[in-house]
Every structure is written in C-alpha cells, then in structure tokens.
Structure 1
Amino acid sequence: MINKLKIINDPVHGFIKIPYEIVFDVIEHPYFQRLRRISQTGLLSLVYPGAVHTRFHHALGATHLMYTALETLKVKGVEISQEEEEAAMLAILLHDVGHGPYSHALEMLLMDNCHHEKLSLLLMSQLNQDFNGRLSLAIEMFLGKYPRKFFKQLISSQLDVDRLDYLKRDSFYSGVSEGNVNAQRIITMLNVHEEELVVDSKGIYSIENFLTARMFMYWQVYFHKTSVVAENILVKILKRAKELSLAGDLLPATEQLSYFLKKAPNEGLASGDLHRFTQLDDSDIMFGLKSWSQHSDKILSHLCQSITERNFPKSIIYSKEINPGIVQEIIKITNDFYQVKDADWFVDVIEKSLLPYDAAQQPIYMKNKENKVYRLEEAENQILAQHITEANTKYILSFPREVLSKANQLIKI
C-alpha cells in the first residue's frame, strides 16, 4: 500500500505535511503536475536571475499555509471538521491550476479571453468528476458559496494564504528582501468572528508590514519596467504569430500551440480545448520564440530576438500620463528607421496601477480583547493603513534603442 501522507522539504517554509490522501492524489494528477513547467513569475528571471520557481512550488506553499492557518484557528476554539479542512486545502492547492504559460495575458490570447480563474474552475470541475465528487465542497469554497465565509477569505481576499506565500516565496527567489513577510506571525494572529476572518489586535503592525511589503514587491519586482516590457513583448509575439497563422503561415510550433494559434478569435471553447490547454507549458512558448526568431516576418523575428537574446527596447517610467503626440512622433521615427508601416508593434505606453489596501471593497477587520471588531484603518494604533488606500499609477514608455538619439529630442530622459 502506498504511503500518501508525505512530508516535502520546501526551501521557504521548511517541511510541508501532506496530511490527507486526497490531497496527495490531486498533487499526483497530470493537471497539477503541469504546474512544475509553469513559471510562477513569468519572465521575471530576465531581471532577477534567481526567480525561476514554478507555480507548483507556490501551490504547495499556499496549501501548507492553509493547513497551518486552520490548525491555528482550531486551537483558538473555531470548530473545523476534517471534511472542511480537506476542502479548503484542495481549493487553495488548485487555485492556480488554470494558469497558462509564462504570462497572465497569454491566457486571453490562447484561450479566447478565458481568465485563468475560470480555467481553474473548469479544471477543478473535471477533477471533481475524476475523483467521484470529492472536490465538491472545495469548489463551493472556491466560489465563495460556502456559508462559512472565512474559508473563502483564506483562499482569496486582501489577507489570504495565496498572497502570504507568493510574497515570501517571490522575495526569497528574487532576493528582494522588502517582500519577506512574517507569514507565521500573521497566521498566529488570525481569528474568526461570526464566521468571518479577523485579526487579533496585537497583530496590527504585522498586517501593515504585509500590506506595505506587497506594495514594494509590486513596484520593485512585479512592475519592474524591464519585466513589464518583456511580458508586453511576449503578448505581442503571440498576437503576431496568431495573425500570421490565421493568414496561412505555417509557423513551426508544437502541436498544441499550433492548434491555438490557428484558432479563430471569438470562436469560444470547443470540445477538447480544455484538455489541449493542459498540454501547454512554458516549453511550448520557448520553442516558438527560438524558432520564430529567424522568421522572414520582420516584426515577429525582431520581437522574438528581444526576449531570446535579452535585447530589450529602451524603457522609461513616468508618474504622469505621456503626451500622445510624443508617442506618435516616436512611432513615426521608428517607421522610418525600420521602413515598416507597423511601428506600433515596437513602441508602447504601458500603464500599471496598484491599490495597496482596498478599504472600501475588502476591508481587513481587527478584533480586540473585548471582542470588539473594527476596520484596520480605524485602529487607534495603526500607522500606515489609512495612508495606503489610494491607487498609484505609473506609465512606462518603451521604444527601440536604435532610435534613441532622435527620440531623445522629444522626451526628457
């Protein structure tokens, strides 16, 4: 008989327990094993070389934190059944199972505007059939339909185990210490009041540190201008490859990628598309990039070489909107340089916004020793919470370095 109660050695959290056989069985399923071949942070390793970890790593880490959180709540007197614990662990284990290769944006191109959360739900439903309904409660929690709201809040909210893991993990692998949150301390401070998740009042500074760490990670890591530009180029590559494929160009590609490149826009999900999607991973995309880098189409080959050779365009970050007239002038200069009509493939203005703490839609609640519950930003001893409730927006202008000398006359660098 196979021992399914495993212990996994994780570089971020240490030893991770797999306490239930059903969790082990789902981990062993090909849908989940695919996550070993899906990068957690897309092309971020082109900026931070150590950031080569996968969504498989992250899903296991988040599942470990879910188990730790539920065990902590049980110690505090919250009644949680084994069935509920299993379901919550399965829900967080599979929360990213619908992610496609490299980029969040690629799923919109390859899967006809089907968001990864919808794909995750479709795959969870398929797994539920494979496991004879054992995932029904997990799906209910994932959708937020289970009456005990704190389960959904642990899976997805402003203070969930998903964020606790990816901040700590991405900080570890990227080497950016600003994101290293004390996940164990935060979990120790969690509590439940009237079936909703709250934080014991003495944990307020850990929560504020968590929110600011997330803000710093976004601006310093996830929204790093080079990483943002690289992801934008990857999206354009797939868009261009799809245009050429639909026009009859037989681009070299793996069987599954070729299928999605030839699939007409707005066609919807056909029978078998979901299974084909589960055959896609980062290696399909990288094979395409390497193959297309020598293609006769100037646009496709240039964009592919930007990533395979790490030869990115010039990028400048601004705190205010960029004059559209300047952008059009740079496009014209680029047109003349490359002798093409489609220089907007090479010139971009990318907008990135972040709301550090959404106090209106998803407030974090604290609870004091008198069992009084109040919002984080209303706490008398809060320091930062009320100051991080407004969105901040940055604008990234990118254009070919070959036209930098002429573009320099238009912009202040």
Structure 2
Amino acid sequence: FQRLRRIKQTGLLSLVFPGATHTRFEHSVGALHCADAMLEAMVLNAEAAPSATRRLEDAAPGDAVNLAAIDPQLRAELFRVARLAALVHDLGHGPLSHTFDGFAPRRGRIADILDEDELLSGLRPLRAALLGARAPAAEDEPAAHEALSCLLFAWIWRGVLGEQGGLEVRVAAVILGGPAIACLRRDPLRPWLPLLHDLVAAAPADADRMDYVERDALACGVAYGRFDRGRLLKSLLCYRDLGDPEGPPELRLGWRRSGLRALENFIQARFQLYVQVYHHKANEAVNLMLRRIAALAAGRSDGLFSACDDLEGLAAIYDELSDEAFLAGLRGRDPATRWGATIEGLAEAVARRKLWRRIHEDEGEGAGRFAATYAAIAAARGGREDVAIVETPLRPTGDLRRAGGLLGRGRDGCYRVQCARSWTEVSPLLRTLEVAERSLARIFLCPLPERGESIDAFGARVAADAADLRRLCGDDDADDDD
C-alpha cells in the first residue's frame, strides 16, 4: 500500500499543471474519509427523520431504509468493509495512471495465480468477475486494475497481516460490484453490498469521485472542481432497490430531492474538470504518446511480469513500480530491459516534454472531414503516417444511468425513489447537459523518432501542414494557443 506514495494520482498531468504532484496514497486515504462520512451521514439523516424512512423488514421496493435502525454489529461491519474497500480500491493501479493498463499482467497469468495460491482461495468464487471475459483471446488481455486491487489486498490481509474470516471477499465484491456481488448469495451482508459498491466507486457522487474532484482541482489550482460536499451528505439516504418484491432485498444509494441542486453542481464541476484539465491538449498528447508506447510494447514475451508465477512475485514487482522508475525503464535506463529505439525515443520525448502537437480540434463529424483533408496532403507529400486522431466522449450525465436514486417524499411522509422519473426529467440543467453530450476529436502530428527527425524540423513541418489544413478546411481563425 505504501508504494501508492510513489504513484501520482493524475499521471503526468504535472507536465501541464505543475501542482498536480499529489499521489494515489493521498487519494486513497481521502476516499476512505469520504466513504466513512457518507455512511455516517446516512445514519444521522435517518435518525433526524425516522418517520420518513422504513425499517428494512418493513420496506417495500423503492422505500428509503433507516440505516440507524439496523443491528449495531451489522452497521459496524458495513463501516469496516466500506472503509477498507475505499482505502484499497486503487491498490492495483500501476504507474502513469490508466496508461499503464496495457503493461499490466495478462488475465491468463492472473488466472493461474488465482488457481494455485491458497491465500486467494476466498476469492475463487469471484473468479469470473475478477477475470472478465473468458474467451480464448481474452487470456492475453491485460487484467483490470480493480481485479489486481482485490488480489493484492488479499495478499496483504491474509499473507502479511495473517487475518482470517473472509473479509477480503466482501471487500473485493464491493470494489468489483455487479457479478461479484451476485456470487455471495449466502453472505449476511449480501443485501448491503450493492449500497457499499455505489458508495465507494459507482454512483454519480461516490467517495472516489468526491475526493478526486476536489483534490485534483485544488492541486491544479483551478476553480472548476468546487462543489458543496456538506449539502450532498445532508441529502443522502439508502433505499430498497426496485427489484422483485418477493426476492431478497438489495439496498442502494440515493439522494433526497432537496439535494438535487448540490448534485447538479457536482456533476457540472466534474464535467468541467474533465474538459478543462484532464483533457487539456497537452495532457492528451502525453497520454496519446504513452498509449502508442503501450501498443508498441504489446505482445512482448519479456514484459514486466514475464518472471512472475505466484502472488508474492506479483506483489514484489508492483512494489518496485513507481512513476519515475517505470518511465526511466521505458527510456532505456535499465540495461536489463531494453525496449528498442522507437519506444525509448518516445519515452524520452515524454520525459523532456517534447510532445506531439495538436493541429486541429473539432466536435462530431468535423474532425472526419479534417482528417480526410490531411490524408490527401500526406499522400501528395509521400504518404507519411505521422497523424494521430483521438476521440474523447464527453458524457457528463453518463453516471446517472449507472447508480443513484432520486428520492421524493410521498403522501405518507416516507421517502421513496421516483421510479417513473429520471434525473434528467426533474432537472433542466442535467437535461441540457445530456442533450449537449458529444465527442471531442483532436488531430495530432507526431514526429517519428526512427526517422531521426529533429524537433525543430518537425516544428517547421507542423506549422506548414497546419496552415494547409486550416486553409483547405476553411478554419483560418482556429486558435491553437489556448
């Protein structure tokens, strides 16, 4: 867990916003605090209005449930599982944020470790959820970082701390959600696990998002990520899911309608942070270059985890991974692992901030016309393959479709989920954001290290190509400096 002190929360975003040097360790501790605050708020909110909620055994589907009225031992266990899941949900993250995913251990290797290591015996019922698709081709796909978080936590919990009791499987189910929770049919916490999954990392305003939105905004020195956390907490309740009324109950996360404006504010703040910070053109260039490196390195038999054949070996390799060490390795600084001139040249360019340059940005179909025009220019000049197109979907209301219920007060005074009305139906602001959902497409020109092209020569060529492209596309007034 301590290695997360050496993993930056936002990868190489500090190349754009110098203050973004905070780590996943800080975020993980912050997510624990948020998860604890959210559960505590649900207890206090139910205590403040006991007549507006129902005891679980009396609740119909959609009714708000009184979390303060459940058995104290059960409530203590809910807090324990939620806090641990929030604390370790990023334990399996590699260096350089999500761009490391292409270097992660393959699913086939993780399957072998899961089958052979007795420390992971408790996680075997969750095998399908941990490994994802089981098609033969999926064996060579990288394992999800959430699955690796679960494996590494099991190693710490049972192997290092020597704890027993199966808590690791509950924590894993909360992190993975969905199919993993369905596997624990006989667990006493089974009805509550969907609520904890929503709370930790699945709802529109969960512990993970609440922490990173505020923390990233403060670190980057921008005003986009500000929101009213107190009001969000004040409106939290849990409710019985709208499932089979005769089946076992499931609890989910919800907000009273009085907190709608605070939730609107949070979703808009997160959307602005994505557009203005995470998808800043320079950060997009960094991530595009790192993805190119991952694609070039794919399929190498001498990858980072080639010598890993057990859980302890996996943990040892992860413990040595940091942003600086991983990038240094890609640059060829480790004589034992060489990646070749192309990969090492790209990594060197990233480290020295010699980034691919954006020459056009558009929404929707405009980028396709621009790309076709560039292809014609490239063909006339010898068919250079030095263009990269990245399309970023901007879906500010997408999380509202995953989890989170809006609770209104019925005539009997009880809060219940408004199943007939979606979030966007009751909120003009969210409806406007949904209508405006679009994709942002950018075109980058890429110097190719293997051709020995200098940065100065590349810059001159970029300027000429950009001028031709704008002239042919009628975009002479485009701003490339913001």
Structure-2 residue corresponding to 1:17: none
Q: CA deviation at 1:309?
A: 1.8
Q: C-alpha distance in 2, partners of 1:62/1:261?
A: 29
Instruction: Give the number of the structure whose alpha-carbon radius of gyration is greater.
Output: 2
Structure-2 residue corresponding to 1:142: 175
Query: What is the one-letter code of the residue matched to 1:309?
Result: R
Normalising by the residue count of structure 2, what TM-score does the alignment of the two structures yield?
A: 0.67
Q: CA deviation at 1:118?
A: 1.8
Structure-2 residue corresponding to 1:362: 402
Please give the secondary structure, in 2, of the residue aligned with 1:311.
Answer: coil
2:361 corresponds to 1:317 = yes
CA displacement 1:341-368 (0-9 Å, x = unmatched): xx64x53111111211137732532223
Q: C-alpha distance in 1, partners of 2:405/2:200?
A: 16
Q: C-alpha distance in 1, partners of 2:394/2:195?
A: 25
Question: Which residues in structure 2 correspond to 1:240-259 (within 5 Å)?
Answer: 240=296
Structure-2 residue corresponding to 1:193: 239
CA displacement 1:130-180 (0-9 Å, x = unmatched): 332343332233333232232111012222111011100000101111112
Structure-2 residue corresponding to 1:202: 258
CA displacement 1:19-61 (0-9 Å, x = unmatched): xxxxxxxxxxxxx111111110011111111001010010100
Query: Is the Cα contact below 8 Å between 2:332 and 2:344 reproduced in 1?
Result: no
Q: C-alpha distance in 2, partners of 1:93/1:225?
A: 31
Ranges in structure 1 where 5+ consecutive residues have no aligned partner: 1-31, 247-258, 337-342
Q: CA deviation at 1:200?
A: 1.6
Query: What is the one-letter code of the residue matched to 1:318?
Result: D
Q: C-alpha distance in 2, partners of 1:182/1:360?
A: 18
Structure-2 residue corresponding to 1:26: none
Aligned length: 355
Give the CA RMSD over aligned residues. Answer: 2.9
Query: Is the Cα contact below 8 Å between 1:153 and 1:159 reproduced in 2?
Result: no
Q: CA deviation at 1:287?
A: 1.7
Query: Is the Cα contact below 8 Å between 2:264 and 2:430 reproduced in 1?
Result: yes
Please give the secondary structure, in 2, of the residue aligned with 1:411.
Answer: helix
2:397 corresponds to 1:397 = no
Please give the secondary structure, in 1, of the residue aligned with 2:368.
Answer: coil
Q: C-alpha distance in 2, partners of 1:58/1:94?
A: 10
CA displacement 1:369-390 (0-9 Å, x = unmatched): 43242242232xx331122225
Please give the secondary structure, in 2, of the residue aligned with 1:384.
Answer: helix
Query: Is the Cα contact below 8 Å between 2:232 and 2:262 reproduced in 1?
Result: yes
Query: Is the Cα contact below 8 Å between 2:400 and 2:423 reproduced in 1?
Result: no
2:188 corresponds to 1:155 = no
Question: Which residues in structure 2 correspond to 1:45-56 (within 5 Å)?
Answer: 45-56=14-25
Structure-1 residue corresponding to 2:31: 62
Query: What is the one-letter code of the residue matched to 2:348?
Result: Q
Name the one with the larger helix percent.
Answer: 2
Structure-1 residue corresponding to 2:111: none
Query: Is the Cα contact below 8 Å between 2:42 and 2:238 reproduced in 1?
Result: yes
Query: Is the Cα contact below 8 Å between 1:43 and 1:102 reproduced in 2?
Result: yes
Q: C-alpha distance in 2, partners of 1:359/1:55?
A: 22
Q: C-alpha distance in 1, partners of 2:460/2:326?
A: 27
Query: Is the Cα contact below 8 Å between 2:42 and 2:236 reproduced in 1?
Result: yes
Structure-2 residue corresponding to 1:12: none
Tell which deviates more after alignment, 300-309 or 159-168: 300-309
2:12 corresponds to 1:43 = yes
Q: 1:105 to 1:301 in 2, by over 3 A?
A: closer
Q: C-alpha distance in 2, partners of 1:292/1:326?
A: 40
Give the share of equivalent positions with the same residue, in percent. 28
Structure-2 residue corresponding to 1:383: 428
Q: 1:91 to 1:285 in 2, by over 3 A?
A: same
Please give the secondary structure, in 1, of the residue aligned with 2:286.
Answer: helix
2:349 corresponds to 1:306 = yes
Question: Which residues in structure 2 correspond to 1:196-275 (within 5 Å)?
Answer: 196-240=252-296, 260-261=303-304, 263=306, 270-271=309-310, 274-275=314-315
Query: What is the one-letter code of the residue matched to 1:151?
Result: L
Structure-1 residue corresponding to 2:318: 277
Q: C-alpha distance in 2, partners of 1:356/1:102?
A: 24
Query: Is the Cα contact below 8 Å between 2:331 and 2:345 reproduced in 1?
Result: no
Q: 1:354 to 1:405 in 2, by over 3 A?
A: closer
Please give the secondary structure, in 1, of the residue aligned with 2:237.
Answer: strand
Structure-2 residue corresponding to 1:118: 147
Normalising by the residue count of structure 1, what TM-score does the alignment of the two structures yield?
A: 0.77
Query: What is the one-letter code of the residue matched to 1:203?
Result: G
CA displacement 1:227-285 (0-9 Å, x = unmatched): 01101112323444668x76xxxxxxxxxxxx525849xxxx74356222343221222
Q: 1:360 to 1:45 in 2, by over 3 A?
A: closer
Q: C-alpha distance in 2, partners of 1:126/1:308?
A: 33
Query: What is the one-letter code of the residue matched to 1:57?
Result: E
Q: CA deviation at 1:333?
A: 8.2
Q: C-alpha distance in 1, partners of 2:99/2:380?
A: 28
